[in-house]
Amino acid sequence: MEGILHALSDPARAAIYNEIATKGCPQNCSGLTTVSEKGIPKSTLSQHFKILREAGLIRSERQGVEMHNTTRCGEIEQRFPGLIHAIRASYARQCPKGEINGAGSV
pLDDT tens digits, one per residue of 23-76? 776 666 656 655 666 677 777 888 998 999 999 999 988 888 878 888 898 899
Domains of the chain and CATH, by start: 2-94 (1.10.10.10)
Examine the pLDDT at 6 and tell me if it is beyond 90.
Answer: yes
Whether the per-residue pLDDT at 102 is higher than 50: the answer is no
Nearest to 48 by CA among 64, 24, 67: 67
Asked whether the beta carbons of 61 and 68 are under 8 A apart, the reply is: yes
Q: What values do phi and psi take at 69, rounded to 5? A: -115, 135
58 with 71: CB under 8 angstroms? yes
